[in-house]
Structure 1
């Protein structure tokens, strides 16, 4: 099973691609459809089914599918939701999508999928010990992986730093909202990452999110004992990680 379909459900778009798991890269060009304005599970499942059909010639009929969601996923169930319709709360998501698509489905948190992708194929490949991936965007998403084993559903963007919820001051959205320079933002990132370092003593930090494309503007300003590097897979990480996690469970 070297080709598995990964699908990334986001607040603005649903994206999918078959992934070559031997290489850790797309086996065909990514296909994207806008997330329905009324983003109920049923409406999104219709879009997901369209993406599956788009790649039907490239995946086997019984090939598992990996799907990411912007939410925690506990044993296939979504306990809470922020960026999609409220009907997702409490959804038995794996059973729902498996029944709708007629094949095995693994549903995972989007940051967790990105972390798995970076560990197996990206910036953290061959790193022993604890890797913490952070995505700097509207909030701060996190994934914690120890020797390839994921600790799922961490929400370490919400640790308290200097009396504040960390992501309220250190996410990319805070930089934009307060019109901070990269130098000013780096002061806040320094406090966030040094606090994370003190709590977990990881072997590597990987920084993802769209802003990681401009990593040279802020990562060199940080002074940490733990190495910190930009993510390598960028926007493809969620899809690749979801496919890998689906294959690992098959």
Structure 2
């Protein structure tokens, strides 16, 4: 089945058609900067632009950086706070005239890594951490997703963890890789002590530079780099769309 995967982030909105059997992107991804301010209306407008530029018509799976409940956004850590309470699923569906399924963006990336990537042979407890504008997390046990975990917001040294260990924090404070690796290690060790995962998968754009910080990590759990990199959010959003449709009987 082919579904358009849309990955809405704090800095960019990107997407491409996806073969949900293989996770393969069927064309070059389209990316447009996230509008500022990132109001609901601006996000819908830019999302439609991305999809139209790709020449797509058909079902859409969308990942968004928020807790998502029944298509409604319940948090807004790295987008405008006016998104809280917004029914993005319905609004985007109406704007496109297509069926849209909405999921937390880190959950989408994690689903892709569980299905096709670095965690595909791990059946214990898996934590996906996306290192980007914030710290996104996706938690799986026995291959099943525990949706909407917000473990990037635990407190470390009196601060939100993502304010210390995200890629944005690294850039904002002009941290050297050694210092950044130490911060990330402190965060991962705290998570490890709370959840005892069997595997931690590090994703997000910065994962491509893992050679700069992996030697600084001392965490007990096995740590690997996401295999799908920035494509994980797009492919996982499309996969989540199929999974939701199957669960609700829409594909019956």
Give TM class, smaller chain.
0.7 to 0.9
Does 1:125 find its partner at 2:120? yes
Does 1:8 find its partner at 2:13? no
- Cα pair 2:10 2:133 within 8 Å, conserved: no
In the other structure, the counterpart of 2:249 is: none
Q: Give the 3 Å change call, closer, same or farther, for CA 195–80 of structure 1 in structure 2.
A: closer
How far residue 163 of structure 1 moved from its aligned partner, in angstroms, is 4.3
In the other structure, the counterpart of 2:17 is: 18
Of the structure 1 ranges 177-186 and 151-160, higher mean CA displacement relative to structure 2 is found in 177-186
How big is the alpha-carbon RMSD for the aligned residues of Structure 1 and Structure 2?
Answer: 2.1
Instruction: Give the ranges of 4+ consecutive aligned residues of structure 1 lying more than 6 Å apart after TM superposition.
Output: none
Residue in structure 2 matching 1:143, options 135, 138, 144: 138
Counterparts of 1:168 and 1:84, CA distance in 2: 15
How far residue 56 of structure 1 moved from its aligned partner, in angstroms, is 4.6
CA displacement 1:74-116 (0-9 Å, x = unmatched): 1211123243344322112222222222222111111111111
Counterparts of 2:42 and 2:161, CA distance in 1: 33
Residue in structure 2 matching 1:102, options 88, 94, 97: 97
Counterparts of 1:128 and 1:244, CA distance in 2: 19
How far residue 46 of structure 1 moved from its aligned partner, in angstroms, is 3.0
Match runs of 1:70-89 below 5 Å? 70-89=65-84
In the alignment, structure 2 segments of 5+ residues that lack a partner are 246-252
How far residue 132 of structure 1 moved from its aligned partner, in angstroms, is 0.6
Residue in structure 2 matching 1:91, options 86, 92, 101: 86
Of the structure 1 ranges 4-13 and 227-236, higher mean CA displacement relative to structure 2 is found in 4-13
Residue in structure 2 matching 1:184, options 174, 179, 189: 179
Counterparts of 1:190 and 1:155, CA distance in 2: 18
CA displacement 1:40-99 (0-9 Å, x = unmatched): 333332333333334456x5xxx4211112222112111232433443221122222222
**Matched residue pairs, number?**
245
CA displacement 1:181-234 (0-9 Å, x = unmatched): 322332222221111111101111011122211111211222232100111111
CA displacement 1:3-60 (0-9 Å, x = unmatched): 1111112233321100011221101111223433454333332333333334456x5x
- Cα pair 2:78 2:133 within 8 Å, conserved: no
Query: TM-score scaled to structure 2, two decimals?
Result: 0.87
Counterparts of 1:170 and 1:230, CA distance in 2: 16
Of the structure 1 ranges 70-79 and 186-195, higher mean CA displacement relative to structure 2 is found in 186-195
- Cα pair 1:207 1:228 within 8 Å, conserved: yes
In the other structure, the counterpart of 1:65 is: 60
Query: TM-score scaled to structure 1, two decimals?
Result: 0.88
- Cα pair 1:219 1:229 within 8 Å, conserved: no
Counterparts of 1:154 and 1:181, CA distance in 2: 29
Counterparts of 2:25 and 2:128, CA distance in 1: 21
Does 1:51 find its partner at 2:46? no
Counterparts of 1:176 and 1:38, CA distance in 2: 21
